Each structure stands twice: as C-alpha cells, then as structure tokens.
A and B are shown apart, each in its own frame.
Chain A
Amino acid sequence: MTATLDAPAETTEASVPLLVADDLVKNFPIRGGVFSRTVGHVSAVAGVSMQVARGETLGLVGESGCGKSTTGRLLLNLLRPTSGTVTFDGRQISRMKGKELAEMRRRFQIVFQDPYASLNPRMTVGTTLAEPLKFHFGWPKDKIDGRVSELLSTVGLSPEHANRFPHEFSGGQRQRVGIARALALEPELIVLDEPVSALDVSIQAGVMNLLQKLQDELGLAFVFIAHDLSVVRHISDRVAVMYLGKIVEQGPHEAIYERPAHPYTQALLSAIPLPDPSRERARERIILFGDVPSPADPPSGCRFRTRCWHKAALEEGGVDTSVCANEEPLLQIHTEKGIDHPAACHFAQVRSLV
C-alpha cells in the first residue's frame, strides 16, 4: 500500500511534518504447545500511516483492542514495528538503537493513562522530575531544582509539592505530575495515551484545559489517544478513527464529526450519549450487532464487514456487497461521492449524526 498517499496532506502545511508513520505493522506472536512455539499472530496494528505536523493535535480514537495504544508506542519506538517506518523530523527512528535513540527520545515523550501506576511510589515527585534532566543534560543540582520548580508551576502545582510522594496527590494532580515529567526535556511531540480516562469529569476538564494551554504556549504536537470521542473532538485538530488495527477514516475534526463517511465512525458517533435530554431522545442510533472480531483471525477484505450495518442495509436493498469480503478497502478520498477526507470503505457515504 502506498501509504504516504493516504495521509491527508491537504490539511497540514507545506512544511515537513514532524512525525511521519509509514505503513506500520505490529504482530504479536501467540505461543503455544510444549516448546512455546509461535502458533499464530495477533495483528494488533496492520498498516497504519499518519503524519503529525508541529503544533497540531492528532486524535486517535477507537474501542478497546483496536490497536490505538500499540500505535502510540510504535510511534515513539517503545515497541519495534514488525514492518514499516517512523520518521521524526526527517530522521528514521524505527531502526535506531542505543545512544542515538536515547538522544532522540528527548524530543518525544509519553503520558500514560494511569498516573499512579506510571509514577514510582518511592520517589518524590521532585526526584521523578529531576531524573530525565540528570540523565539527558547532566545539569548541576541547583539548576535541576530550578527547572523542577518551573515544571511544577507550569502544570499548575506549587514548587513545594516536589517533596511529596505520588500517593499524597489526588488523581488529577498525579496526572499533572505525569505531564510535567513529559515536559521536562522540552519535547516537540507528546503521545498522550488516554490521559484523562481515569479521572472524574470535573477533574478531567482541568487537565484538558492545561493540555491546551501548554500546546498554545510551547507549540507542542500531540498524539491524543482516547476512546471518548467527545474528549477527542474537544482537543484535536485532526482525528484518525481505528478499527481492528487499521485506520478507517481520517480527517480534520469537523469533517469526522460532522461529515463522517465510514459506517464504523457513524456507528461510533451515534452510540455516544449526549448530555442533553431532548436532543438525546430525538437522535437516531445505529446499534451494531456482535462484538469486535479477534485480531488473531481478522475477517478477510474489510475488517468491519462482520458488524457493518451499512453492508447489511445494502444487501437488503439487493446490492452486491461481495467486494467487502474479497477486497480490502483503501484509505482514500472518494471525491466522486463528495467526501473530502480519506475513508476506507467501498461504499463510503456521508451521513451526519451528531
């Protein structure tokens, strides 16, 4: 697949994108038998291509098991791709090793979902934040202390909090520490893996506002991974929707939310309850049947076809849909159907649902 063509170049500036992922594939082996031989593969990510420009937010959405977190880790080379490449600022990082990679890592960071599990409980927040500074910059202690205080204020905590341990913070504050740690080395890109999913809504809003503020002030690029489409809409410039290891639709956020063309995106959007009773009662809801198929044995052709409501409707209308099972739909722009962003569906059709 000529993946770079699929990436939506029309929304980014002419400048070189900060991060380019080209046809990323990641298979995890399934081991079985007496000698733990590899008996199969879970195809977690199956040909994902994307670009992230400086200062923009790419939202990556999908349900559990769709490969969005794996993609996030592949982008940062925390996992090695089975095939495909990741290029950061013109340099290929997916084959980098050792010192070279360590130096590059300074420029891209990650924030994890559960801030309690990702912070060392035995280290004070100050030590946690100082560690990358010591490792990468080798600064003297007073300079590091100064930077730690600065980082804490940046994320809305007070410098005194450096002496406290993670358990002494509330969930929202812990997530702020996680963000401060990612900011420590002044990265250009941060992958945020479900950063607000574990937080109560009232707290979540504060963390989201902080992220937007940081982006405005520091010109960071974000890859924002989440299952909550409302959160993603709020923060993203562009959105990529994943299903079973593939991107099924990608585009500027207003295109995805207002003119979704892929049946899965449409079902996903229609399933999200709006906190507005009268509109909620009036909405049409697309109910998908069944569950997500196992990524160890994905359906042939279009991976969504086993649950596709659109295909079912077409078949009822007497349309031949054998192409869905026989041919994999490419992520491409269907201008002839009046769709302005790439969608991977043979029968793509715009439908407004929000």
Chain B
Amino acid sequence: MSTDDVLLSVRDLRAGFDTDDGMVRAVDGVSFDVTRGEVFAIVGESGSGKSVTAMTVLGLLPTIKIEGGEILWKGRDLLSLDEQERRRVRGKEIAMIFQDPLTALNPVHTVGRQIGEMARIHEGMKKGEAFDRAVEMLDLVGIPEPRKRAKMYPHEFSGGMRQRAMIAMAITCKPDLLIADEPTTALDVTVQAQVLEVLLGIKDEINSAIVLITHDLGVVAGLAHRVMVMYAGRQVELGTTDEIFYETRHPYTLGLLASLPRLDDMGDEPLVPIVGSPPSLIRKPTGCAFHPRCRFSRVPGLCDAEVPQLRLISGDAHMAACHYAEELQEVSVETLREQVDVRSEAEIADLLSLDQVLGHADSDAATDTGEATAAGAADALAAAGNARAQVRADATSTSPRAEAEAGIATTDEEEAPAPGPEANEPSDNGAAGATSASVAQAPVAPVEKPVAPADRPEGKDAR
C-alpha cells in the first residue's frame, strides 16, 4: 500500500462530552489510517469509545466537544470544514451503516424513496431516476423483487432485509469509505452471515474501504485486514488481524480472547474472565486505564502512574500501549487458560469492581471482604505469575517476580475502593517508594526487587 491510498487519517483525536458530573473523555488520543480497499475493524466493549470515534469522523454528534487532533479525509481536515462542506462529504464520500436499521430508517417513507433521496441530494437526480437507482441498489444487496420492495415501508421488511436496505442506502453514491457500526449485532447468525457476505461483495464492487465497528471478535477474524482495540477511550493495540489474534501484545486483547467461549472448545476448561468491570470515563483510573483489571500490572509505580503510550512493538505497524508489551510475547491465550485458577479469582474480582463502579469510598466494607479473600487472590495471581515465569525460561530471576505479583494482589484490594481524584497524585510512589511498597506487601518478602526485563525502554527503568 502506498501513502496515496490513505483515505482517512485520524491524528491524535481527543473528544468528549460535558456532563454535570464532569468531562466524559470518550475519545482520548486516537490515531489511525484507513487505506482504500481494506477492512479496518475497531473492537471494544460497550463504552470503549469505538462508536464515538466513528461518529466524530462523520460529524454526527452535535454535542461533542472536540478538544484536539485532526481528521484528514483525502488530505483535507474535516474538522476545519463548515457544515455545508461537511455535508457534501457525508453520505457521498463517507457513508454510515447503523446498528439498528429500524430506528435508522424513516418509518413514514417508503424504502425506495429513502434510498433514492441519496441520489437526489448528492447527484441531483430527478425523482424517477432516483427511484430506479434505489431499485438497482436493492437488487445489488440481494433483495428479491426489488421494484416491489422499493415501494414498501421499513416495517414490512424483516430484520435482515432492513439491514440490507441500510447497506443499499449507504452505497447509493458509491462512497469511498463505509463506516459500519455493529452492522450485524441485532441479527441472527444465519442472517448475519448473509449480510456480511453482501457487505464484502459490495466493498469489492465499488472499491471502497470499510471501518467495521464491532465487539464480536469472530466477525473481526473473518473480515478485517487490520484491527484497532480500544479500551476506555484509548487505543490499546493496533495491528494486522493475524498480529492481534496470534501475537497479542496487550493484556486487554489477551483477556478478551481468553474470555470467549469458542465453538471449537469442548467446555472442559473454565473461561478466563477479565476481572472487574470497565471504568467510568469520568473517573478513569490513573496511569494505564486497564491496570485495575490487568493480570500483568505491577502496582505501584508504573502501571498506576504513567499512561502507556501506543508504541511500535513488532513488524511494520504492530503497536500496543502497555508498559510490558515485550514480555507478553511469551504469553498466549492457551497459557492463560491453563494456568489461571479462574473460579476462586472471579469472585474476588467482582467484589473489587463493585466499588469501582460506584465510585464509593466506603473502605470499611471493602477492606473486610478484602481481607477475607485476599489470600485467595494472592494465590491465584501468584499462580498466574508462576505460570509466566515458567514460560519465560530465559528470565534471570523467576521467584521474585511471582512474589511481587502476589504483593500486587493485596495492593489492588486496597486501591480499588478509592478511585477518586486524590488518587491522581501517585508521584510520591516514585523512586524508593515503589520498591519498598511492593516488597513489604509480598507474603514472603524477597530481598531483591523484581528484575526488569532487559528490553524495556530506559526511562521506565529509572525507578
């Protein structure tokens, strides 16, 4: 791919919503490129900012506050255009397919008229011509008897047909980019297969690119060329589909993969859930937003203090935002599944997350339950740590790492109930504080501090 083929280039986009409770940072420093002909998937759980990113590209969110960054469409910054100029791009050059076609289609107009409207507005077609174009488009997406169907209303269509009508509308002007926001989430699997096939066929026919927003990693595996994983408004990993699935370098992506029940698994092994729940975007955890739920985070000092930047990990463009991304090379979904004592761990995790969700600081209750279960958590995490230590046969020292992590388990428990603003000052955890804290809390106090992996960047070793 050459640089000429870059259609959309989002650069350090930061946007959010002002609410009474504070600023919701829905998109926080997101950058990516989409080239012609590719399927670029944005993956994340609810509230990860994936839809907001896409809607911002189209300028469909009037209440959003853009705090910075640019959205370059064929070299032009969309954010600097006025509404008139944006309209010319929207629908004609970039089109959107929404999740729920019943709410996205107008119930009081026929399907044919709504599809034809695109041609009338953007190409100045007459009513009759536009209707013919609509029929042609319905035919293209595989709706039988398109001329008859075009005269029907959305409620007369089934779910799968409505979604096809949405696709027909989106491609009427042969856009260069299609943004599909969970296009098949509301559909049954057999219908999903039909719709995805239509979508891919159309893409090749009109030679456009697709930005596919979804939470379904199965759909991503089959369709996408490149994948961006988002968590709490930030990109955590970016790479080709194979890199994301087979050379995962971020604990969140790894966690998502390990928590999926699979059609080809026998159901003998328990699933590995990601402990806790996604954070509030108003009160994000300090440092790496994922650290309270992360199996690999080493609190205190780094993960809870320093926001990991998205950096190149391997290959041309495989990027991850994790301080320990290099170490994750040794960890696969399989090792995670085999080694983690899931059942005892899962329960404790929920106790923690509840208080994060609420933002409560009722530390009494939390510490009570925390103490009761801390031993279990420590065991579980130590097991995970050992597992990794075994895998990393080349590691200089194994046991201190495992123990340090057991220490983390207890720290986690205490940290959890207080995600308030005061937690924003972890800087005093700096140099000596970090080491002594982790040593003091480890059940069997190791004298030496955890050995830092050799390949970690210089700056972070300072502690």
Interface residues of A (CB under 8 A from B): 63-64, 156-158, 160-161, 168-173, 176, 200-206, 208-210, 212-213, 227-231, 233-236, 253-254, 257, 267-281, 285, 287-289, 291-292, 354
Contact = CB atoms under 8 A, between A and B. Distances in A.
A275 B260 contact: yes
Query: Mostly helix, strand, loop or mixed at chain B's interface?
Result: helix
A196 to B, nearest CB: 9
A273 B219 contact: yes
Contacts of A273: 216, 218-219, 221-222
Contact of A280 (B158, B222, B272, B343): B222
A291 B261 contact: no
Nearest to B161: A291
Contacts of A276: 221, 245, 262, 264
Contact of A277 (B197, B245, B258, B262): B245
A63 B351 contact: no
Contacts of A205: 258-261, 271-274
Interface in B190-210: 190-194, 197
A280 B263 contact: no
Contacts of B259: 201-202, 204-205
Interface residues of B, number: 61
A277 B241 contact: yes
Given A271-B192, A275-B217, 12 more contacts: A63-B190, A173-B357, A202-B274, A210-B347, A229-B263, A234-B261, A254-B266, A271-B190, A273-B221, A274-B264, A277-B221, A291-B159
A288 B270 contact: no
A268 B262 contact: no
A285 B260 contact: no
Contacts of A168: 357-358
A234 B273 CA distance: 14
B192 A209 contact: no
A231 B264 CA distance: 11
Given A208-B271, A234-B271, A200 B46 contact: yes
Nearest to B357: A170
Contacts of A279: 264
A269 B263 contact: yes
B419 to A, nearest CB: 14
B273 A209 contact: yes
Contact of B215 (A201, A212, A236, A271): A201
A233 B346 CA distance: 21
Contacts of A208: 261, 271
Given A201-B256, A205-B271, A230-B260, A274 B343 contact: no
B228 interface: no
A268 B342 CA distance: 30
B247 to A, nearest CB: 12
Contacts of A204: 259, 261, 273
